[in-house]
Amino acid sequence: MLVLGIESSCDETAAAVVDEHGHVLSDVVSSQLAVHAPYGGIVPELAARAHLESIVPVVRGALAAVPDGLRAIDAIAVTRGPGLVGALLVGIETGKTLAWAAGVPLVGVDHLAAHLLAVFLRRGEGDAPRPTFPFVGLLASGGHTAIYEVRSPTEITLLGQTRDDAAGETFDKAGKLLGLGYPAGPKIDRLAQHGNRRAVVLPRPMANRRSPDFSFSGLKTAIARHVEQHGVPENDAAMADACASVQHAIVETLADKAIDACGRHGIPRLVLAGGVAANRGLRARARELGEKHGVEVFVPPIASCTDNAAMIAWAGHVRLAHGDRDDPAALAPYAKSPDLKRGKIRA
Ligand code: KG4
Ligand code: ZN
Q: Which atom of ligand 1 is nearest to the CA of 115?
A: 1
Is the Cβ–Cβ distance between 336 and 19 less than 8 Å?
A: no
**176 CA distance to ligand 1 middle (Å):** 14
Cβ-based neighbour number of residue 132 at 10 Å? 8
pTM (2 d.p.) = 0.94
Q: Could you give the strand order of the β-sheet that contains 106-110, starting from the edge strand earlier in sequence? A: 24-31, 12-19, 2-7, 75-81, 106-110
Q: Give the residue among 97, 155, 88, 76 at the shortest CA–CA distance from 317.
A: 76
Is the beta carbon of 168 within 6 A of some atom in ligand 1?
yes
Q: Which atom of ligand 1 is nearest to the CA of 175?
A: 14
pLDDT digit string (tens) for the chain, length 347 residues: 999 999 999 999 999 999 999 999 999 999 998 888 888 788 999 999 999 999 999 999 999 999 999 999 999 999 999 999 999 999 999 999 999 999 999 999 999 999 999 999 999 988 889 999 999 999 999 989 999 999 999 999 999 999 999 999 999 999 999 999 888 999 999 999 999 999 999 988 777 777 889 999 999 999 999 999 999 999 999 999 999 999 999 999 999 999 999 999 999 999 999 999 999 999 999 999 999 999 999 999 999 999 999 999 999 999 999 999 999 999 999 998 776 544 555 54
CA separation for the pair 89, 107 (Å, rounded): 14
**307 CA distance to ligand 1 middle (Å):** 8
Q: Which atom of ligand 1 is nearest to the CA of 168?
A: 12
CA separation for the pair 151, 337 (Å, rounded): 19
**142 CA distance to ligand 2 middle (Å):** 7
Q: Give DSSP secondary structure letters for 124-188.
A: STTPPPPPPSSEEEEEE-SS-EEEEEEEETTEEEEEEEBSS--HHHHHHHHHHHTT--SS-HHHH
- Ligand closest in space to the Cα of 309: 2
Q: Which atom of ligand 1 is nearest to the CA of 250?
A: 23
Mutate to test the pocket of ligand 1, among 10, 253, 276, 312 (most ligand atoms within 8 A of CB): 276
Is the beta carbon of 279 within 6 A of some atom in ligand 1?
yes
Is the Cβ–Cβ distance between 185 and 172 less than 8 Å?
A: yes
Is the beta carbon of 172 within 6 A of some atom in ligand 1?
yes
